[in-house]
Amino acid sequence: MGAAVFHNGAMALPPLYKIPAKGPPPMTAREQVLAQWTGVNTASWERKRSSPAHPVGQVLSRLWEKRRFVQRLNENQIRQVWNQVLDPGLTAHAQPVNLVRGTLFVTVDNSVWLAEIVQYRQKEILERLRHSFGPELIKRLSFRIG
């Protein structure tokens, strides 16, 4: 394909890439025969149906990641274990709020309990939680008054 010449003598270069045609792609011979035989053009339906299906496990794992189900499940389990494994006097004043990158954030209702927990009970709490969940889930504790 050669270059076109305009009336002012300038030359137009051919396009660097092919611009796709608008509308649906042309029908294959099979689709044409089926459309003539049935009187209905089902080409677009068949193309949609022929798209590759994804395994259920793959779809569910993406959904779990997107909706943060695993993190929410871990947080609920931590709350349950917190109330079972620790002293009821302590759990009445301190409750876990959320887990972010291995740090468990805990709210404490007053500064007296905060000082007691940080000075005397922090190691014990962390050891008990690690014993229940393993060392990888909870790496640190962070206490706040709330």
Q: Where are the domains of the chain?
A: 71-145
**pLDDT at site 63:** 79
- Distance from C-alpha of 113 to C-alpha of 120, rounded to nearest angstrom: 10
User: Mean pLDDT per segment of 10 residues, for the chain of length 146 residues?
Assistant: 60 69 77 81 69 79 76 82 89 90 91 90 92 88 90
**pLDDT at site 49:** 67
The amino acid at residue 111 is S
Q: Which residue has the tokens 């959904």?
A: 63
**pLDDT at site 31:** 81
- Distance from C-alpha of 139 to C-alpha of 94, rounded to nearest angstrom: 18
Q: Which CATH superfamily is domain 71-145 in?
A: DnaA, N-terminal domain (3.30.300.180)
Please give the DSSP secondary-structure letter assigned to residue 28. Answer: P
User: How remote is the C-alpha of 98 from its chain's centroid?
Assistant: 18
Q: Is 86 helix (H, G, I), strand (E, B) or coil?
A: coil
